[in-house]
C-alpha cells in the first residue's frame, strides 16, 4: 500500500514537471525571454515540491504512526507482566499478524495480533491517502503559480541547496554517531576495568574469566596487541616506503612515457586487489615460504609470523605511497628542475637536492596515510599474523594485532554484550591513533601546498 502511494507521488511529480513546463512554454509564446525562469525550472520546481511534500508526509507519518501503534499495543496488554514478557507478547503478536511463526500462542497474543492487523491497515490507508492528497495539493498550488514573473529558478536552486546541505550533514552526523557510540561503550567498559590496566597491562586474555562471572582486570592489558600492531606496521612500512618512493621517483623522472603507461596501471591494479586476497596470499604462499627459507638457514620461523603479514601488508601499501608520492613529485614545478639542470646538476643531484626536499612534506603525508592504513588493516593479519597475544619484538614469531582481537571478540561465541566491552575499548583507542595520524598527515599536506601557491 505504502509503496504504491510512494510510486503515485512520484508519478504526480513527473506529471507536474511536464504540465508546468508546458504551461511556462505556452506563457512565453514567441518571446520566451520574457519569462523570469526558463520553463524547465518551472517544471523542476513543481516536480520537486510535489515529490518532497508527498514523501515527507509518508516518511514522517510512518515514523510517528509506528510509535503510536507500539504505544497502543503495549497499553492494551493485561496488567502485571514483567518488561520482558510484554516485549515477547508484542513481538509474537506482530509476527502472528504477519502470518509468521510465534514463539508461543495464547489469548493475549491473539488480541495483540488482531489489534496490530487493524491498526496497520488503518496506518497504510491513512498514510497513502494523506501523502497522495498532500502531493496533489502541492501539485495544484505549484501549477497555479506558474507565471511570467514567478521566480521558479531561485526557488528550485534554494531547494537543491538544501538537499546538498542535508547530504553533507549525513556524513557529519554519521561520524558523530559512530564516535559517540564508541566513546559511550568505551566509558562503560572503563567503568568496570581501570584504564591503566588496559593501557599498560601486558597480559591479554579478556574472556578467560568471564565464565566465573567477571572479567579479570589483570588480563585485559592491551600492550601486546599494540606492540604487535606496531611491529607489523614497522615491517610493512620498511617494505612499502622504499619500494613505493623509489618507484614514484622512477615513474616521475626516469620512466619513458611508454614504461609509465604500463607501470602506472599495474600499480593501480595492485591497489585494487581485495585485502582478503592479500590475506590468503600471505597465509598460503608467503608464510610457508618464509618458514622453509628460515628452516634452511637454521632459523625457527613460526608458520604465522609477523614478518609474513608485515611484508604482504607492505606490498599492499606500495601503490598508495607510490601513487601519492608520484603526484607530489610531479607537482614540483618543472622550473625548479630546469633551474637545477641549468646549474649543471645531474638528474640524481636534482632529485636528491631539489625535488625530494620540495616534495618531502607531501611524501611524509603519503607515508603517514600508509601508516594509518597499516594500523587499521585487518584481513591480512587475521589470516597471517596469528591469534595469541604474544609480547615480542621478534618478527619471526606469531603476534596478534588490535584488529585481529576485535574480530576474534566479535565473531567469537561469547555473548556479544560481554565481548563488546573490550572490543569497543580497542576500537576507540585504534580510532584515536589513526585519527592523530590522519590529522598530522593532512596538516603536512596543507603546509606543503603553501610552498608554491
Q: Is 331 in the site for another protein (CB under 8 A)?
A: no
Determine the Cα–Cα distance for residues 230 and 304; give it in Å rounded to an integer. 17
**Smallest separation (angstroms) from another protein to the CB of 246:** 21
Stretch near another protein under the rule CB under 8 A, chosen from 129-137, 239-247, 275-283, 336-344: 336-344
Grid coordinates representing 253 are 623522472
**Smallest separation (angstroms) from another protein to the CB of 453:** 11
Stretch near another protein under the rule CB under 8 A, chosen from 210-218, 279-287, 340-348, 409-417: 340-348
Q: Applying CB under 8 A, which of residues 280, 341, 431, 440 lies at the interface with another protein?
A: 341
Q: Applying CB under 8 A, which of residues 345, 356, 391, 396 lies at the interface with another protein?
A: 345
**Smallest separation (angstroms) from another protein to the CB of 344:** 3
What are the CB-based long-range contacts (under 8 Å, 24+) for 151-159? 151/36, 151/37, 152/24, 152/36, 152/37, 152/41, 152/42, 152/44, 152/45, 153/36, 153/37, 153/38, 153/41, 154/37, 155/45, 156/37, 156/41, 156/44, 156/45, 156/48, 159/45, 159/48, 159/49, 159/52
Q: Is 268 in the site for another protein (CB under 8 A)?
A: no
**Smallest separation (angstroms) from another protein to the CB of 429:** 38
Q: Applying CB under 8 A, which of residues 162, 343, 416, 432 lies at the interface with another protein?
A: 343
Q: Is 263 in the site for another protein (CB under 8 A)?
A: no
Q: Applying CB under 8 A, which of residues 256, 272, 300, 413 lies at the interface with another protein?
A: 256
Q: Applying CB under 8 A, which of residues 168, 257, 266, 269 lies at the interface with another protein?
A: 257
**Residue number, 144 or 258, with CB nearest to another protein:** 258
3-state secondary structure of 315: helix
**Smallest separation (angstroms) from another protein to the CB of 363:** 14
Determine the Cα–Cα distance for residues 64 and 83; give it in Å rounded to an integer. 23
Q: Applying CB under 8 A, which of residues 337, 409, 421, 428 lies at the interface with another protein?
A: 337
Q: Is 346 in the site for another protein (CB under 8 A)?
A: yes
| Residue 421: count of CB within 10 angstroms of its CB | 21
Q: Applying CB under 8 A, which of residues 358, 381, 383, 426 lies at the interface with another protein?
A: 358
As a three-state string, the secondary structure of 147-201 is CCCCCHHHHHHHHHHHHHHHHHHHHHHHHHHHHHHHHHHHHHHHHHCCHHHHHHC
The phi, psi pair for 220, rounded to 5°, reads -120, 30
HSE-CB of 111 using CA atoms within 13 angstroms = 11
**Smallest separation (angstroms) from another protein to the CB of 335:** 4
**Smallest separation (angstroms) from another protein to the CB of 337:** 8
**Could you say which residues in the range 85-144 bind another protein, by CB under 8 A?**
none
Number of residues that bind another protein (CB under 8 A): 21
Q: Applying CB under 8 A, which of residues 175, 191, 353, 411 lies at the interface with another protein?
A: 353
Q: Applying CB under 8 A, which of residues 13, 46, 354, 441 lies at the interface with another protein?
A: 354
What is the DSSP secondary structure assignment for residue 219, as one 8-state letter? Answer: G
Which of 133, 166, 152 has its CA nearest to residue 44? 152
Q: Is 339 in the site for another protein (CB under 8 A)?
A: yes
* Helix H or strand E segment including 120: helix 107-145
**Could you say which residues in the range 148-167 bind another protein, by CB under 8 A?**
none
**Residue number, 262 or 295, with CB nearest to another protein:** 262
What are the CB-based long-range contacts (under 8 Å, 24+) for 204-211? 204/389, 204/405, 205/389, 206/409, 206/419, 206/421, 206/422, 207/409, 207/412, 207/414, 207/418, 207/419, 210/414, 210/418
**Residue number, 155 or 337, with CB nearest to another protein:** 337
- Binding residues for another protein, rule: CB under 8 A, are 256-257, 333, 335-346, 349, 353-354, 357-358, 451
Amino acid at each position: 500500500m505504502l509503496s504504491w502511494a510512494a510510486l503515485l507521488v512520484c508519478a504526480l511529480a513527473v506529471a507536474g514537471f511536464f504540465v508546468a513546463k508546458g504551461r511556462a512554454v505556452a506563457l512565453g509564446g514567441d518571446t520566451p525571454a520574457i519569462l523570469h525562469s526558463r520553463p524547465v525550472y518551472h517544471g523542476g520546481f513543481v516536480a520537486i515540491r510535489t515529490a518532497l511534500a508527498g514523501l515527507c508526509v509518508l516518511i514522517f507519518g510512518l515514523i510517528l504512526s509506528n510509535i503510536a501503534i507500539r504505544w497502543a499495543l503495549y497499553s492494551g496488554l493485561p496488567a502485571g507482566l514483567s518488561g520482558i514478557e510484554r516485549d515477547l507478547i508484542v513481538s509474537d503478536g506482530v509476527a502472528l499478524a504477519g502470518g509468521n511463526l510465534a514463539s508461543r500462542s495464547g489469548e493475549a497474543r491473539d488480541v495483540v495480533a488482531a489489534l496490530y492487523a487493524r491498526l496497520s491497515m488503518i496506518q497504510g490507508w491513512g498514510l497513502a491517502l494523506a501523502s497522495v492528497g498532500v502531493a496533489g495539493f502541492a501539485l495544484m498550488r505549484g501549477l497555479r503559480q506558474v507565471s511570467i514573473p514567478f521566480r521558479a529558478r531561485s526557488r528550485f536552486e534554494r531547494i537543491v541547496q538544501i538537499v546538498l546541505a542535508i547530504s553533507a550533514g549525513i556524513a557529519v552526523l554519521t561520524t558523530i554517531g559512530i564516535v559517540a557510540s564508541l566513546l559511550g561503550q568505551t566509558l562503560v567498559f572503563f567503568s568496570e576495568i581501570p584504564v591503566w590496566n588496559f593501557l599498560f597491562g601486558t597480559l591479554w586474555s579478556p574472556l578467560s574469566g568471564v565464565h566465573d562471572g567477571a572479567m579479570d582486570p589483570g588480563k585485559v592489558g592491551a600492550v601486546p596487541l599494540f606492540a604487535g600492531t606496531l611491529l607489523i606496521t614497522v615491517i610493512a612500512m620498511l617494505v612499502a616506503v622504499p619500494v613505493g618512493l623509489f618507484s614514484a621517483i622512477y615513474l616521475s623522472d626516469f620512466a619513458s612515457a611508454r614504461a609509465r603507461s604500463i607501470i602506472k596501471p599495474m600499480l593501480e591494479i595492485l591497489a585494487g586487489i581485495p585485502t582478503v586476497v592479500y590475506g590468503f596470499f600471505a597465509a598460503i604462499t608467503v608464510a610457508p615460504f618464509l618458514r622453509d627459507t628460515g628452516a634452511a638457514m637454521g632459523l625457527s620461523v613460526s608458520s604465522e609470523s609477523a614478518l609474513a603479514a608485515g611484508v604482504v601488508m607492505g606490498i599492499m601499501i606500495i601503490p598508495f605511497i607510490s601513487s601519492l608520492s608520484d603526484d607530489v613529485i610531479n607537482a614540483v614545478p618543472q622550473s625548479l628542475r630546469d633551474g637545477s639542470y641549468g646549474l649543471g646538476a645531474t638528474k640524481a643531484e636534482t632529485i636528491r637536492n631539489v625535488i625530494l626536499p620540495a616534495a618531502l612534506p607531501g611524501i611524509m603525508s603519503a607515508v603517514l596515510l600508509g601508516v594509518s592504513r597499516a594500523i587499521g588493516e585487518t584481513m591480512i593479519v587475521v589470516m597471517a599474523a596469528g591469534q595469541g597475544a604474544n609480547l615480542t619484538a621478534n618478527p619471526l614469531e606469531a603476534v596478534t594485532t588490535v584488529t585481529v582481537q576485535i574480530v576474534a571478540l566479535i565473531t567469537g561465541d561469547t555473548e556479544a554484550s560481554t565481548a563488546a566491552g573490550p572490543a569497543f575499548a580497542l576500537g576507540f583507542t585504534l580510532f584515536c591513533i589513526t585519527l592523530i595520524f590522519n590529522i598530522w598527515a593532512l596538516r603536512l599536506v596543507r603546509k606543503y601546498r603553501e610552498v608554491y601557491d
